[in-house]
């Protein structure tokens, strides 16, 4: 519309277009930066100390895992699978659980699931291990959503070297859960032992990557 | 004078024969003249008619021509020596048994499962241990069965009568022992376990397949809901390893005594220090131990047996783990059609899992 108001309208429209374009020029790069940050965030699940010589680690002790689930034996089951899988790689020697228990008693470690750096250094001397692995089982068991159900496991692990008590590696893994197929067709998901092995395998892969 | 000399010589010969005589361990193939049937051990965690089962077992053995020590003689012996533990014997009891009663073998039986329900079930392990100064395992076998193991067409093979069922189970034990006594077979031999009973995760290192090892089976750490599951797994592995030519299994009674004498209290498992002590005291080359996470049977016709355990083997030579594995199975693993191939007792499943591990240990 060509009148004072129309001219004003056109001017406003042009101005608004220009404003919008400026917004686009500012907002779009911001969005791209944010997206790239989130992409980096997915790799943040694993920490690896670049200064650590992992080749020097030959013997490790796997401490009792912390159990944050309702299943009382979850931590023991996952720990057993972890020890056997780690041994089976042949890359590290894992001390027997009885030996670790002896070290915990000797070292008077009050909280074996979450040992302090001083405890770790003490254990290293008693057990003659170059590193200690601790872990936490966050989820273990069945979950339900409506009429669908499946097994899920979520765990994390850390490796602490025994010279200084410093964390040199940490990672986490979550497996199982209710898939689209479970929702549509039922089935109960994969057996607990299977997904436990998968989760442990993923952790060990992250350790040796 | 010559008469005196001859008498003196004869006396010397007698003294030489008696003095310094050292009881040798019974050679594996030698027949055992008489057996003392010890009271049964109850590992089922529920009430079991032990006396009547023992009476039935003794009858089965007598019917097969085995000579058994009289019940009251054994009871007097046990009272005199204050024998309370009947699932194993140590050197002291074995020596006294030989000296005082003259028997050459002690039959030790443990009942793991007994149910007289709609579908009767039984699981037991028996072993024959030589008496004298060095008790050794001469024979070991077991039975784990349910009345619906082989129901057949129209359930014609289903066994509902618990007495018939018990007779069948004890008959199998009697037959196996009689064969051993007749020197028809010394060892059970490596039973070929199905592939599905192989451990899910296994680590093996530096164990020579051809060499003969002496192995002490330590009590398994029981983290399951089933009472005495740790002791049950010990018997399964004693049975599985004894069946192989590569292993000399130390009598569990001797292992138990070593644990008590050295005041070994296992915290989660056998430590290297404990293993070292066992190597020294028992003269073992290997110590086998582990954890039981699941050991489940079920009552009645509906259900699934479940077994889950880990095993570790520590070697004397360098005090390191040379075998570590995790095994878990359910009775309906690999079963797709009409329960064909289903294993109805945890015992039957556990022995196959143990056999599988034994086979992998000796494989080069």
Whether residues A170 and A188 share a domain: the answer is: yes
ipTM: 0.81
- In this predicted structure, the answer to whether residue B182 has a pLDDT above a threshold of 90 is no
| Helix, strand, or coil (residue B118) | coil
Instruction: Copy the structure tokens of residue A119.
Output: 């405890």
| Helix, strand, or coil (residue A68) | coil
- In this predicted structure, the answer to whether residue B70 has a pLDDT above a threshold of 80 is yes
- In this predicted structure, the answer to whether residue B286 has a pLDDT above a threshold of 50 is yes
Whether residues B176 and B219 share a domain: the answer is: no
Instruction: Copy the structure tokens of residue B252.
Output: 């569990």
**B332 and chain A in contact, CB less than 8 A:** no
More reliable by pLDDT, A152 or B209:
A152
Between strands A59-62 and A93-94, the pairing is parallel
- Measured between CA atoms, the residue of chain B closest to residue A72 is B223
Whether residues B51 and B134 share a domain: the answer is: yes
Smallest Cα distance from B239 to chain A, Å: 24
Least confident of A175-184, B16-25, B82-91: B16-25
Smallest Cα distance from B295 to chain A, Å: 14
Range of the domain at B140: 34-181
Per the rule left: phi > 0, alpha: psi between -120 and 50, beta: everything else, A14 is alpha
Residue B256 domain-assigned (yes or no): yes
**B289 and chain A in contact, CB less than 8 A:** yes
Q: Is residue B22 a contact partner of residue B203, using CB atoms and an 8 Å limit?
A: no
Residue B302 domain-assigned (yes or no): yes
* pLDDT for residue B3: 54
Q: 């010890």: which residue's tokens?
A: B38
Residue B186 domain-assigned (yes or no): no
- In this predicted structure, the answer to whether residue B221 has a pLDDT above a threshold of 70 is yes
- Per the prediction, chain A carries an average pLDDT of 85
Q: Is residue B170 a contact partner of residue B122, using CB atoms and an 8 Å limit?
A: no
Whether residues B113 and B259 share a domain: the answer is: no
Q: How many domains does chain A have?
A: 2
| A57 vs A55: CA distance, rounded Å | 5
**B328 and chain A in contact, CB less than 8 A:** yes
Q: 């076998």: which residue's tokens?
A: B141
Whether residues A66 and A129 share a domain: the answer is: yes
- Cβ contact B274–A98 (<8 Å): yes
Whether residues B213 and B296 share a domain: the answer is: yes
Percentage helix, strand, coil, to 5, in chain B?
A: 35, 25, 40
- Cβ contact A73–B293 (<8 Å): yes
Q: Is residue A123 a contact partner of residue A64, using CB atoms and an 8 Å limit?
A: no
Instruction: Kindly indicate the confidence band of residue A14, based on its pLDDT and cuts at 50, 70 and 90.
Output: low
Smallest Cα distance from B271 to chain A, Å: 4
Whether residues A101 and A202 share a domain: the answer is: yes
Range of the domain at A36: 4-43
Q: How many domains does chain B have?
A: 2
Whether residues A19 and A55 share a domain: the answer is: no
Q: Is residue A158 a contact partner of residue A169, using CB atoms and an 8 Å limit?
A: yes
Beta bridge partners, A47, equal A170
Whether residues B357 and B210 share a domain: the answer is: yes
* pLDDT for residue A63: 97
The phi and psi torsions of B163 (rounded to 5 degrees) equal -70, -45
Whether residues A128 and A75 share a domain: the answer is: yes
């Amino acid at each position: 519309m060509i009148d004072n108001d129309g001219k004003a309208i056109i001017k406003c429209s042009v101005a608004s277009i220009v404003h919008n374009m400026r917004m686009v020029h500012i907002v779009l790069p911001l969005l791209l930066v944010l997206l790239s940050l989130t992409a980096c965030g997915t790799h943040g699940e694993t920490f690896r100390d670049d200064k650590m010589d992992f080749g020097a680690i030959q013997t490790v002790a796997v401490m009792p895992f912390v159990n944050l689930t309702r299943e009382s034996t979850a931590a023991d089951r996952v720990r057993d699978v972890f020890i056997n899988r780690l041994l089976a790689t042949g890359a590290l020697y894992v001390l027997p659980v009885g030996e670790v228990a002896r070290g915990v008693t000797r070292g008077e470690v009050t909280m074996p699931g979450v040992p302090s750096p001083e405890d770790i250094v003490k254990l290293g001397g008693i057990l003659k291990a170059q590193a200690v692995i601790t872990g936490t089982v966050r989820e273990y068991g069945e979950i339900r959503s409506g009429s669908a159900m499946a097994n899920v496991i979520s765990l994390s692990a850390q490796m602490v070297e025994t010279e200084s008590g410093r964390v040199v590696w940490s990672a986490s893994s979550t497996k199982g859960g209710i898939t689209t197929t479970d929702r549509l067709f039922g089935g109960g998901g994969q057996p607990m032992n299977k997904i436990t092995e998968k989760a442990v395998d993923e952790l060990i892969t992250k350790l040796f990557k | 004078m010559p008469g005196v000399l001859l008498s003196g010589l004869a006396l010397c010969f007698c003294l030489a024969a008696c003095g310094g005589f050292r009881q040798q361990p019974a050679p594996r193939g030698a027949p055992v003249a008489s057996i003392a049937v010890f009271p049964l051990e109850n590992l089922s965690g529920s009430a079991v008619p032990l006396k009547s089962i023992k009476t039935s077992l003794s009858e089965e053995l007598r019917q097969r021509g085995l000579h058994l020590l009289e019940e009251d003689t054994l009871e007097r012996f046990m009272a005199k020596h204050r024998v309370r533990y009947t699932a194993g014997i140590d050197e002291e009891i074995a020596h006294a048994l030989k000296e005082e009663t003259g028997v050459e073998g002690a039959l030790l039986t443990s009942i793991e499962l007994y149910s007289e329900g709609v579908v009767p079930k039984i699981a037991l392990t028996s072993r024959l241990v030589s008496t004298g100064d060095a008790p050794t395992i001469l024979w070991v076998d077991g039975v784990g069965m349910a009345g619906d193991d082989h129901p057949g067409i129209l359930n014609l093979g289903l066994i509902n009568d618990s007495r018939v069922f018990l007779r069948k189970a004890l008959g199998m034990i009697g037959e196996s022992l009689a064969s051993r006594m007749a020197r028809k077979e010394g060892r059970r031999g490596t039973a070929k376990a199905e592939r599905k009973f192989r451990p899910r995760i296994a680590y093996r290192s530096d164990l020579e397949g051809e060499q003969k090892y002496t192995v002490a089976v330590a009590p398994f750490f029981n983290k399951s809901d089933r009472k005495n599951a740790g002791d049950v797994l010990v018997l399964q592995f004693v049975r599985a390893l004894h069946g192989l030519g590569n292993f000399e299994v130390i009598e569990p009674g001797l292992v138990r005594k070593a644990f008590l004498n050295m005041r070994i209290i296992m915290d989660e498992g056998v430590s290297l220090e404990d293993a070292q002590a066992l190597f020294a005291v028992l003269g073992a080359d290997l110590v086998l131990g582990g954890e039981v996470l699941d050991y489940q049977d079920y009552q009645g016709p509906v259900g699934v047996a479940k077994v889950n355990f880990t095993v570790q083997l520590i070697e004397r030579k360098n005090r390191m783990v040379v075998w570590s594995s995790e095994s878990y199975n359910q009775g309906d693993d690999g079963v797709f059609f009409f329960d064909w191939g289903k294993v109805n007792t945890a015992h039957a499943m556990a022995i196959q899992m143990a056999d599988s591990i034994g086979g992998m240990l000796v494989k080069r």
